[in-house]
Structure 1
């Protein structure tokens, strides 16, 4: 007795009557049906706890949804308080868009102006002093010259401290005299030289007027000349005024610059504090 293998056995011999007609594919049974996926219970109303023993709603392995306690995506960390996100430069407080940033006043250029005034004052003092010295020397130099043996009439004023000068060069022996009595010659104390002229006598006249004067020398052929000018002591006012200008004008300019610097720095410090409290 022959026992046929079961239908699923590969060694079973197929009956020609059980084969499908030629050209038709074999027929298979319908796919296995599965039941519907398990349904999750709906989440409880807001503010009520979930039933005990049930997992929180949401995909498996993820925390419950909702803004409170929500975690950032993987690889991103929430920025810490007072620190910028990783990889970004720190942000500083800036004024609102379109509003210009307030500047600290007064500006530092006021300090530059103050010291510019100081520099100008120094230059002015030096110029005034030099001008006073030059003008004093020019006023003391002889304004009227004459040759030896020449009789000249000169206008003399005792208020101007007139003086007699001799041109520097060859040493000579001279002799001078007035045509009238009254004027006198006074020997100077010390040596005074102005523009190649040497003061030899002070002229003491009783009053302002015209006086005739004659000077001679013993050396023949000498290129010596005489001149009427002023005593340097009478022209010292211009030198003294120039010296005072040299001291006072620069000192005033430097003092102005110092005061300006202090005022600007103090006011800028107060302005910074005021702006800091407004931010």
Structure 2
């Protein structure tokens, strides 16, 4: 066959059409070209976007609020305890069973209440008292080692005898003294103990609450600062 002759159809040596080898067959999968499959990641198309949200900073400020609310509650409880102790002391000191010289009164005494006999007089006077209970009871009257007095309704009452009642029960008390009024009640020292207890509660409870609030505040603020630094990194 000469150069001007047309090749026969189906000739195995016929040249391919131009660019035939560069055209992929129809329906072939896109493999991304000679450089491999399509790239993925931040450098691929559509790989850019907002960074993930770090979420709320922990621990929350709510813990600080709760700690200081606890402090306020303990402060209120402390003040209330002191006021209750003071009111109870005043009530105990004013709860006197009064009687005149030469009279006899029946009173109920309890050793734990530290019972005592009070006297009120405009001038110094000699007084004497007797306390009688159930037969066989050893009842002792002793002078107080320190002066104890209270003023109620404009009258000053002073402890003249401490009653050593061995058991709780009903007792007969009588006293003598010219121009003297008498009363049976609790010792002032016993009532002062309630005031002291209330004062301790008033100081201790708020102090504990204040320390807790300070510690919680410091811990929360330090940990929140650390959480912010980690989020920024």
Q: Please say if 1:133 is aligned against 2:95.
A: no
Report the number of matched residues. Answer: 177
Question: What is the deviation of 1:158?
Answer: 2.8
The 2-side partners of 1:138 and 1:240 are apart by 15
Q: Check whether the contact 2:130–2:175 (CA below 8 A) recurs between aligned residues.
A: no
Per residue, is there more helix in 1 or in 2? Answer: 2
1:252 equivalenced with 2:212 (yes/no):
no
Structure 2 residue aligned with 1:213: 173
Question: Does 2:122 correspond to 1:199?
Answer: no
Whether the aligned pair in 1 keeps the contact of 2:61 and 2:220 (CA below 8 Å) is: yes
Do 1:185 and 1:204's aligned partners in 2 also have CA atoms closer than 8 Å? yes
Q: Over the residues paired in the alignment, what is the CA RMSD in angstroms?
A: 3.1
Q: Secondary structure at the match of 2:127?
A: strand
Instruction: Summarize the alignment of residues 38-49 of structure 1 with structure 2, pairs less than 5 Å apart.
Output: none
Corresponding residue of 2:106: 153
CA distance, structure 2, for counterparts of residue 255 and residue 112 of structure 1: 14
Question: 1: distance between equivalents of 2:202 and 2:162?
Answer: 31
Cα distance between partner residues in 2 of 1:102 and 1:252 = 34
Equivalent residue runs for 1:55-134 within 5 Å: 102-134=55-87
Partner Cα separation in structure 2 for residue 101 and residue 195 of structure 1: 70
- Structure 2: distance between partners of 1:227 and 1:179: 13
Give unpaired runs (5+ residues) of structure 2. 1-48
Q: Determine if contact 1:172/1:217 at 8 Å carries over to the other structure.
A: no
Query: Greater share of strand residues, 1 or 2?
Result: 2
- 1:78-113 Cα offsets, whole Å, 9 max, x none, are xxxxxxxxxxxxxxxxx95xx989543334353243
- Secondary structure of the structure 2 residue equivalent to 1:177: strand
TM-superposed CA distance for 1:229, in Å, is 0.8
> What is the CA-CA distance between 1:187 and the residue it aligns to?
0.9
The 1-side partners of 2:226 and 2:212 are apart by 21
* Residues 268 and 191 of structure 1, relative CA distance in 2, 3 Å threshold: same
Partner SS state of residue 107, structure 2 = strand
